[in-house]
Structure 1
Amino acid sequence: MKIKAVFFDLDGTLFTSTRGVANSTRKAIRELRQKGIFVGIATGRGPAFAMPLLEDLDMDFAVTYNGQYIFTPKAVIFDNPLEPKTLKKLMTYATQNHSEISLGTAHGVTGSGLLKFGETRLAGLLSGLLPSGTSGVARNSFKHIVRRILPQNSHLAENQDGAIYQAMMVVTQDETPKLQAAFPELVVTRSNPYSVDLIPAGISKLSGIALLGQQFDFELNQVICFGDSENDKDMIAGVGYGVAMGNALPAVKEIAAYTTDTNNQDGIAKALAYYGLIQYSTEKDFLSKDQNFNKVKDFHRLMDGKTQVIPRAFSPQEASFRSGFKVEEIVEFLYASTADHPEKFAELIAQLHKDIDKATQKVSTKAPEQDVLTGQVDAMIDLLYFTYGSLVLAGVDPYEIFNAVHRANMGKIFPDGRPHFDPVTHKVLKPDDWAEKFAPEGRIKKELERQKRVANKKKASNKD
Structure 2
Amino acid sequence: MDIKAVFFDLDGTLFTSTRGVATSTRKAIQELRQKDIFVGIATGRGPAFVMPLLEDLDLDFAVSYNGQYIFTPKEVIFQNPLEQKSLKNLINYATENHSDISLGTAHGVNGSGLLKFGETRLASFLSGVLPSGTSGVARNSFKHIIRRVLPQNSNLADNEEEVIYQAMMVATRNETARLQEAFPELLVTRSNPYSVDLISKSGGKLPGIQRLGEHYGFTLDQVMCFGDSENDLTMISGVGYGIAMGNAVPEVKNIATYITDTNNQDGIAKALAYYGLIHYSVEKDFVSKDQNFNKVKDFHRLMDGKTQEIPKAFSPTEASFRADFKVEEIVEFLYASADGNQEKFTELVNNLHQAVDKAANKVTLKEHNEDSLTGQVDAMIDLLYFTYGSLVLSGIDPYEIFNAVHRANMGKIFPDGRPHFDPITHKVLKPEDWEEKFAPEGKIKKELERQKRVAAKKYENK
2:260–2:268: 8 Å Cα contact kept in structure 1?
Answer: yes
1:419/1:31 CA distance change after superposition, 3 Å: same
1:313–1:373: 8 Å Cα contact kept in structure 2?
Answer: yes
Partner of 1:401: 404
1:295–1:406: 8 Å Cα contact kept in structure 2?
Answer: no
1:259/1:118 CA distance change after superposition, 3 Å: closer
SS of 2:109's equivalent?
Answer: strand
2:408–2:438: 8 Å Cα contact kept in structure 1?
Answer: no
Select the residue among 432, 436, 445 that pairs with 1:436.
432
Equivalences for residues 114-133 of structure 1 within 5 A: 114-117=114-117, 120-121=120-121
1:38 deviation in Å? Answer: 2.8
1:204/1:435 CA distance change after superposition, 3 Å: closer
Cα deviation 1:120-142 (Å, max 9, x = unaligned): 537988xxxxxxxxxxxxxxxxx
SS of 1:73's equivalent?
Answer: coil
Cα deviation 1:255-299 (Å, max 9, x = unaligned): 544443332332211222233321111133222233331122123
Cα deviation 1:365-411 (Å, max 9, x = unaligned): 434253654432231122223344556649695234322343145x2
1:372/1:12 CA distance change after superposition, 3 Å: same
CA–CA separation in structure 2 for the residues paired with 1:437 and 1:246: 31
Q: What is the total number of aligned residue pairs between the two structures? A: 427
CA–CA separation in structure 2 for the residues paired with 1:324 and 1:347: 20
CA–CA separation in structure 2 for the residues paired with 1:7 and 1:283: 26
Partner of 2:288: 288
Equivalences for residues 238-257 of structure 1 within 5 A: 238-257=238-257
CA–CA separation in structure 2 for the residues paired with 1:289 and 1:19: 34
CA–CA separation in structure 1 for the residues paired with 2:329 and 2:449: 28
1:244–1:260: 8 Å Cα contact kept in structure 2?
Answer: yes
CA–CA separation in structure 2 for the residues paired with 1:394 and 1:253: 51
1:12 deviation in Å? Answer: 2.0
Instruction: Give 1:90's aligned amino acid.
Output: L
1:311 deviation in Å? Answer: 4.0
1:435/1:33 CA distance change after superposition, 3 Å: closer
Partner of 2:66: 66
Instruction: Give 2:205's aligned amino acid.
Output: K
1:251/1:421 CA distance change after superposition, 3 Å: farther
Q: Which segment is superposed worse, 363-372 or 100-109?
A: 363-372
1:300–1:307: 8 Å Cα contact kept in structure 2?
Answer: yes
Q: Which segment is superposed worse, 377-386 or 340-349?
A: 340-349
1:64 deviation in Å? Answer: 1.1
1:316/1:447 CA distance change after superposition, 3 Å: same
The gaps in structure 2 that reach 5 residues or longer are 126-155
1:27 deviation in Å? Answer: 1.1
SS of 2:110's equivalent?
Answer: strand
Equivalences for residues 318-357 of structure 1 within 5 A: 318-330=318-330, 350-357=350-357
1:99/1:343 CA distance change after superposition, 3 Å: farther
1:188 deviation in Å? Answer: 1.6
CA–CA separation in structure 1 for the residues paired with 2:198 and 2:33: 33
CA–CA separation in structure 2 for the residues paired with 1:368 and 1:323: 20
1:39 deviation in Å? Answer: 2.0
SS of 2:7's equivalent?
Answer: strand
1:322/1:417 CA distance change after superposition, 3 Å: closer
Equivalences for residues 73-152 of structure 1 within 5 A: 73-117=73-117, 120-121=120-121
Q: Which segment is superposed worse, 225-234 or 169-178?
A: 169-178
Partner of 1:383: 383
1:407–1:438: 8 Å Cα contact kept in structure 2?
Answer: no
SS of 1:104's equivalent?
Answer: strand
Alignment of 1:447 with 2:443, yes or no, is: yes
SS of 2:432's equivalent?
Answer: helix
Partner of 2:359: 359
1:223–1:241: 8 Å Cα contact kept in structure 2?
Answer: yes
CA–CA separation in structure 1 for the residues paired with 2:325 and 2:410: 19
1:88 deviation in Å? Answer: 0.2
CA–CA separation in structure 2 for the residues paired with 1:285 and 1:218: 34
SS of 1:443's equivalent?
Answer: coil
Q: Which segment is superposed worse, 60-69 or 302-311?
A: 302-311
1:30/1:220 CA distance change after superposition, 3 Å: same
Instruction: Give 1:399's aligned amino acid.
Output: F
Instruction: Give 1:29's aligned amino acid.
Output: I
TM-score of the two chains, using structure 1 as the length reference: 0.75
Equivalences for residues 191-270 of structure 1 within 5 A: 191-216=191-216, 218-270=218-270
CA–CA separation in structure 2 for the residues paired with 1:180 and 1:50: 27
1:60/1:442 CA distance change after superposition, 3 Å: closer
1:226 deviation in Å? Answer: 1.6
Instruction: Give 1:10's aligned amino acid.
Output: L
2:210–2:219: 8 Å Cα contact kept in structure 1?
Answer: yes
1:216 deviation in Å? Answer: 4.6
Q: Which segment is superposed worse, 451-460 or 69-78?
A: 451-460
1:14/1:374 CA distance change after superposition, 3 Å: same
Q: Which segment is superposed worse, 239-248 or 453-462?
A: 453-462
Partner of 1:138: none
CA–CA separation in structure 2 for the residues paired with 1:83 and 1:216: 29
1:41 deviation in Å? Answer: 1.1
CA–CA separation in structure 2 for the residues paired with 1:388 and 1:283: 32
1:372/1:164 CA distance change after superposition, 3 Å: same
Identical-pair percentage: 66
Cα deviation 1:320-349 (Å, max 9, x = unaligned): 453344345545666788899999887765
The gaps in structure 1 that reach 5 residues or longer are 126-155
Cα deviation 1:143-168 (Å, max 9, x = unaligned): xxxxxxxxxxxxx9x95862221111
Instruction: Give 1:83's aligned amino acid.
Output: E
* Cα RMSD after superposing both structures: 4.1
